[in-house]
C-alpha cells in the first residue's frame, strides 16, 4: 500500500519521461488528470483500490458529484471544501473588534495620543480640501 492521499496533481501529466506508474491501493480521490503523458497509461489496474478516483480510464464519471477547481482541490456538492474559509471569516470579526477597541481604548486613556491623533486627522483633512480646491481652480481655468 502506498502512502499517497488526496488528489493526483495536474503537474504529473506534464512529465514526459513517465513510462510506468502504479497508484493502486492508496487514498487518492478526485479526477484523474488529463494530459499528454498520463493519458498513455490506460490500464485501469494502476488505479485500483482508490474508490475516490474518477475519470478516464476508470468507468466512473467525475461530473456527477465532484467538481475540480483551478488549483486542483476537489469540492463536493455538500460543500466540505469551503469549511476552512468559514473559520477564516469567523476569525476576522473578533480580530477587527479587538483591534478597534485597542485603538479606541488607547485614545480614551492617553490624552496626549488622543490630541496627536485628532490633530493628524485635521491636518490630513485640510490637505485634502486644499488639493481639491486647487484642482477645481485648475479645471475652471482650463475650461474658461
Which of 33, 49, 78 is the C-terminal boundary of a domain? Answer: 78
- Of 44, 59, 78, the one marking the end of a domain is 78
80, 88 Cβ separation under 8 angstroms: no
Residues 89 and 74 in one domain: no
Residues in the chain: 144
The answer on 45 and 9 residing in a single domain is yes
User: CATH no. for residue 36?
Assistant: 3.80.10.10
Residue 86's pLDDT is what?
Answer: 82
User: 72 and 88, same structural domain?
Assistant: no
Would you state the pLDDT for residue 1? Answer: 59
pLDDT in tens, the chain (144 residues): 567 777 777 777 777 777 777 777 777 777 777 776 666 777 777 777 777 778 777 777 776 544 455 555 555 544 445 567 788 888 999 999 999 999 999 999 999 999 999 999 999 999 999 999 999 999 999 987
Q: Which domain holds residue 51?
A: 5-78
CA angle 77, 78, 83 (to 5 degrees): 115
Domain shared by 65 and 101, yes or no:
no
pLDDT of residue 2: 66
Tell me how many domains the chain contains: 2
- 96 sits in which H/E element: helix 83-109
pLDDT score at 101: 97
- Give the three cell numbers for residue 24: 493502486
Q: Note whether 88 and 41 are same-domain residues.
A: no
5: left (phi over 0), alpha (psi -120 to 50) or beta: beta
Say if residue 12 is in the same domain as residue 62: yes
Shared-domain flag, residues 70 and 99: no
User: Quick one: CA torsion of 16, 17, 19, 23, rounded to 10 degrees?
Assistant: -80
Question: Do 74 and 19 belong together in one domain?
Answer: yes
- Asked if 20 and 37 sit in the same domain, the reply is yes
Q: Residue 110's pLDDT is what?
A: 95
Residues 97 and 57 in one domain: no
Q: Per the omega criterion (within 30 degrees of 0), is the bond before 117 cis?
A: no
For 122-135, letters b (16+ CB in 10 Å) and e give: eeeeeeeeeeeeee
Identify the domain boundary among 59, 78, 97: 78
Amino acid at each position: 500500500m502506498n502512502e499517497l492521499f488526496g488528489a493526483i496533481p495536474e503537474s504529473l501529466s506534464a512529465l514526459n519521461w513517465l513510462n510506468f506508474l502504479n497508484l493502486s491501493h492508496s487514498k487518492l480521490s478526485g479526477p484523474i488528470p488529463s494530459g499528454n503523458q498520463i493519458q498513455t497509461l490506460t490500464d485501469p489496474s494502476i488505479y485500483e483500490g482508490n474508490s475516490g478516483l474518477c475519470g478516464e480510464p476508470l468507468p466512473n464519471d467525475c461530473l456527477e458529484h465532484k467538481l475540480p477547481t483551478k488549483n486542483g482541490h476537489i469540492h463536493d456538492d455538500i460543500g466540505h471544501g469551503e469549511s476552512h474559509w468559514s473559520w477564516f471569516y469567523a476569525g476576522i470579526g473578533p480580530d477587527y473588534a479587538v483591534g478597534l477597541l485597542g485603538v479606541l481604548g488607547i485614545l480614551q486613556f492617553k490624552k496626549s495620543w488622543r490630541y496627536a491623533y485628532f490633530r493628524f486627522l485635521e491636518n490630513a483633512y485640510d490637505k485634502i480640501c486644499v488639493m481639491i480646491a486647487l484642482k477645481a481652480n485648475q479645471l475652471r481655468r482650463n475650461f474658461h
